[in-house]
Amino acid sequence: MEFARYKVIGRRRYRDHAPGDIFEARFDAAIERAVYRKDIQILEVIRPELPEGSYRLPRGWPSPANATAHREAPEGASLSSKEGS
């Protein structure tokens, strides 16, 4: 579900917010009707994301540079067998 920042632009309170208040809420059917009635206005849609490189892997996990490096499987790790081929 998307979140957004809204402004109360009507003359009445909306969900305990006075005219002129700015608030954040999930987009739902009630919000959609209020926007249509022009009781509130969408100022900004909020889509939370993690910027690339802004996170850390748990201790012991390979670093991102090493995680994508091509590696050969150890001897005997293959599912295909040399016997019977």
List, for residues 58-80, the tens digit of each pLDDT value.
887 776 665 555 566 666 666 66
Question: Is this model's pTM higher than 0.85 or not?
Answer: no
Question: How many Cα atoms sit within 13 Å of 5 on the Cβ side?
Answer: 8
pLDDT at 81: 55
Q: How far apart are the first and last CA of the chain?
A: 53
Gap between the Cα atoms of 24 and 58, Å rounded: 32
